Chain A
Amino acid sequence: MIIRLFLHLALLLLFAPLLQGVITRTKALFAGRVGAPLLQPYYDLARLWRKGFVFSRTTTWVFLAGPLVGLVVPLLASLLIPFGALPAPISFEGDLVLFVYLFALSRFFTVAAALDTGSSFEGMGAAREVTFSCLAEPTLLFALLVLARLSDGLSLGTLLGSHLLPAWHSDAGASLGLILVSLFLVLLVENSRIPFDDPNTHLELTMIHEVMILDHSGPALGMILYGAALKMMVMGALLVRLALPWQTGWWLSDALLFLAGLTGLAVLIGVIESIMARLRLPRVPQVLVGTMLLSIFALVLVLR
């Protein structure tokens, strides 16, 4: 139990920033550049760690609560989700709701920290973030309903259990395919990737997540970046397990399969970011509602 917990946390803490590196590298390759080294996110985090803070006089303690909750929440949520075939350290009936609501908690404080600066740019980003998230949340629940229908429990561990492989070959395969797509879109929204948000733009008016953290600096910014990387890996774990439901029986090969799946996911995100432009803001809700409809179809298919 303890060893499993350590393995789980070690995988998460060590591997998460690499995903950002893979995405950046993929984009660079597509653009014909050499690109930053794969380990650049680690160097960035180490550099931010050594730096000092800069605070605006408008801010209060809430400004630091944002990064704090943003880092702690993915850590805690990772305990609930299996990493591929490696089971989750903590698993109980109904933990899927806790999983969803923990991320809502981190959103609450990230947005509050953005509003704490009193800058209208950050207010703009905050308003967009809450709007898009509340459209993405029902989709996530529909997907969980589909998974719960196919399994016989209500914990993420059983939802993503070994029954997924036969389920892909059965009638429910179509549903699983649909929710795979909608979960991927939810992942892109929640992690502020193209086509919903552009993490690289420097035009504040068009950004969502990046504009909310404009005023953060030093270790606080490092915590945000690290928290974002952890969040991506934790949410990615849901997707990877769904797409690669194989089980080898040996923990090392299971872990390698999982990590390979995550890397593949990062490459996919990088490819999408290279070949797509950001959506216009008014289009984003339409795409999200469309995603929700997809997941509703998936639910109807398994309920019939």
Chain B
Amino acid sequence: MTWLLCGIVLTTFAGVPGLFCRRESSGGERLACILTLAGCVCGLIAVALVLGSGGETGLDLPWSLPGAALALRLDPLAAVFLLPLFLVVATGSVYGLRYWPQSENPGNGRKFRLFYGLISGAMMLVLSSRNGMLFLMAWEVMALSGFFLITTEEQKEEARRAGYIYLIATHTGTLALFALFAMLGQMSGSLMFPSAGSLQAAGSSLMFLLALFGFGMKAGLMPLHIWLPGAHAAAPSHASALLSGVMIKTGIYGLVRFTSFFDGIPVWWGWTFLLLGAVSGILGVALAIAQHDIKRLLAYHSVENIGIIALGFGLALLGRSYDHPLLVILGLSGCLLHVINHGLFKSLLFLSAGSVIHAVGTREIDQLGGLLKRQPWTGALFLGAAVAISGLPPFNGFISEWLIYLGAFQPLKSPTSALAMAVLTAPVLALIGGLALACFVKVFGIVFLGEPRSDAAGGAHEAPSAMLVPMTLLLIACAWIGLMPTTLVPLLRGAVVTWTGSNGVIIPGESFASLTWISLLGWLLLALLAAFGLWLRRRSRNIPREIGTWGCGFQFPAPKMQYTASSFADFLVRLFHFGLWSERHGGKVAGLFPPATAFSSHTPDTVLDRVLLPVFLAVAWFCRQLRAVIHNGILAFYLLYIALTVIVLLALFIL
């Protein structure tokens, strides 16, 4: 436990020494990076010790605050969330040395590192805390540091707007959490977390809804995702990697931990998650396809992946309600493994997108192109992550989706109950997978392949090795899970046992048996690809590449003629018009000799821009009108209000 405490303290205060360094000097950033790395290593040791011993360790210290205690626990469930956290925080901080160096950002570099450390430490505390008060404090530190990371470039209007929306969203969520923990404390008698399966779920529907709202807001489940796209787009790339890869998962952690307290979980909890997961998954990826800002696109994919996680979690909850142990195991381990996987490949995607932005200076996909020749390593890393996030073998995304698929097939065996409807998860996942593939092949193809669409893209340079090495580490982790999934089975098994509690399920031995076959076939795939690839390479080695792509007879092809992100996505965007309502401007030609014309398409967020903003604007307008009538500056009216109030109070007293 000392190791974890060490880790938390080191990471939290990693940015503090830098505050005392000179603005222009680079000492502070090196020191911050070393402290963060040391903190992550300490945390990793703590987790390894716990997993090695097979149990859990804890720390309990009294605290003078009423109801609060410094109670920390480390169990396999927390470890699942902590492992990607350590890796992403460490790689991000090394990456930041060259991506956001102090010498290039004297104004905000120190502030950024201070809050980067704070948010990392706060997240570790959130994941290991066992006291409601401590949890909420860590939660708020995390939420507020997130705000400062998003508004790192506060001179930009876009960052300020994104930060403002984030602040509103996160505080609304926290409000629900305050109510939740107050009710939880009342139910269990203290603010300490109750042990798994110790509370009866009957009568706790309100608590479930509060948790769903508060934690779902952080996780970015579909109608509550409003803050996510803007925030991830505006933050520097390694902060986006941390926010999207790890921070939103604290919402999932909250939901998983909260539901673990209960026994006799009602059926509708699970169905709610399946429904929300399907909506988040399909609409998230559909909105992503319509984007042409690379970081906004990746942010929408976080919504999609949270949807996949929710699908797995919903299956696990249904398994609890219907007493179906195999469903619990497959659903929950798929959900938790996807939490790890998404943390890895999404941060890799954000980091490699950052490397592109660093080299070219724009986030517009339609300004890029041909980067694989100029940034071969970044391109290859992005390709690996794109294959992984599309859920394709032999990478890690496939393993977690495979577990969820297998879970989705289980209800077929008990067709009489309503549970059979849960098999619809499988086709929904297939649709999400197909759309994600379309989206990532689009991003990779438009950004890295073809000819550069702008001069800046043509003059791009490869990222320095300080940025490439952390990214490579993340890809290795992705490939590891994809090719050797059996190494993670003990961790997942432990987490499932923690979640179900003592009165939980017995894990059948054969649940994960097929993973050996999958890893074998993964290696076989790689071996075949390598063998054929080497042969193809040898055979095509001395072929000159000196002619242009065949233009179907047209003699003057130009880079502008290539397919763009918008044109690639157009077919799908039209199919999903019912959920996207994309705006299209211009592009009409008239007459035999049409003049030059412009076309633009834009897909605003369905919930934020189409529903919430108009509603809030209407409410604000109404309140302004009301104020103009009531608060009209005439003294006599104010006296009248006081008199009326007194009369009403008097009437109340008498009655």
A111–B438 CA distance with the chains assembled, in angstroms: 9
Given contacts A53-B543, A98-B402, A149-B412, contact A142 B427 (CB under 8 A): yes
- Contact call A123/B438, Cβ cutoff below 8 A: no
- Contact call B517/A95, Cβ cutoff below 8 A: yes
Question: Nearest chain A CB to B405's CB is how many angstroms away?
Answer: 5
Is the CB of A138 closer than 8 A to any CB of chain B?
A: yes
A73–B394 CA distance with the chains assembled, in angstroms: 12
Question: Nearest chain B CB to A201's CB is how many angstroms away?
Answer: 13
- Contact call B545/A56, Cβ cutoff below 8 A: yes
Question: Nearest chain A CB to B385's CB is how many angstroms away?
Answer: 13
Q: Interface readout for A48-61 with B: 1 if CB under 8 Å, 0 if not?
A: 00001111111110
Question: Nearest chain A CB to B558's CB is how many angstroms away?
Answer: 10
- Contact call B406/A57, Cβ cutoff below 8 A: no
Partner of A123, one of B412, B423, B533, B562: B562
A128–B428 CA distance with the chains assembled, in angstroms: 21
Given contacts A94-B402, A97-B402, A107-B437, contact A138 B393 (CB under 8 A): no
Is the CB of A232 closer than 8 A to any CB of chain B?
A: no
- Contact call B433/A118, Cβ cutoff below 8 A: no
- Contact call B441/A145, Cβ cutoff below 8 A: no
Is the CB of B514 closer than 8 A to any CB of chain A?
A: yes
A292–B373 CA distance with the chains assembled, in angstroms: 41
- Contact call A90/B529, Cβ cutoff below 8 A: no
Given contacts A92-B514, A97-B406, contact A55 B451 (CB under 8 A): no
Is the CB of A120 closer than 8 A to any CB of chain B?
A: yes
Q: Interface readout for B389-433 with A: 1 if CB under 8 Å, 0 if not?
A: 011110000100110011001001101000010010011111101
Q: Which of B545-583 contact A (CB under 8 A)?
A: 545-552, 557, 559, 561-563, 567-572, 575
Residues of chain A within 8 A of B383, CB atoms compared: 62, 112
Question: Nearest chain B CB to A303's CB is how many angstroms away?
Answer: 5
Residues of chain B within 8 A of A71, CB atoms compared: 532
A105–B405 CA distance with the chains assembled, in angstroms: 17
- Contact call A140/B430, Cβ cutoff below 8 A: yes
Count of residues in A whose CB is under 8 Å from the partner chain: 77
Question: Nearest chain A CB to B445's CB is how many angstroms away?
Answer: 3
- Contact call B514/A95, Cβ cutoff below 8 A: yes
- Chain B: which residue is nearest A117 at the CB level? B549
- Contact call B441/A57, Cβ cutoff below 8 A: no
Residues of chain A within 8 A of B546, CB atoms compared: 57
Residues of chain B within 8 A of A97, CB atoms compared: 401-402, 405-406
Is the CB of A124 closer than 8 A to any CB of chain B?
A: yes
Question: Nearest chain B CB to A8's CB is how many angstroms away?
Answer: 14
Is the CB of A38 closer than 8 A to any CB of chain B?
A: no
- Contact call A120/B545, Cβ cutoff below 8 A: no
Question: Nearest chain A CB to B274's CB is how many angstroms away?
Answer: 16
Is the CB of B623 closer than 8 A to any CB of chain A?
A: no
Is the CB of A141 closer than 8 A to any CB of chain B?
A: yes
- Residue pairs across A and B with Cβ atoms less than 8 A apart, 25 shown, are A56-B550, A57-B545, A64-B540, A68-B529, A68-B533, A72-B528, A73-B525, A76-B528, A90-B521, A94-B409, A97-B405, A97-B406, A98-B518, A100-B430, A116-B449, A118-B369, A118-B450, A118-B549, A119-B550, A123-B445, A123-B568, A134-B437, A137-B431, A149-B412, A299-B423
Interface set of B (CB-CB < 8 Å, partner A): 369-370, 372-373, 383, 387, 390-393, 398, 401-402, 405-406, 409, 412-413, 415, 420, 423, 426-431, 433-435, 437-438, 440-442, 444-446, 449-451, 510, 513-514, 517-518, 521, 524-525, 528-529, 532-533, 536-537, 539-540, 543-552, 557, 559, 561-563, 567-572, 575
5 A-B pairs with least C-beta separation: A123-B563, A134-B434, A115-B445, A118-B450, A130-B438
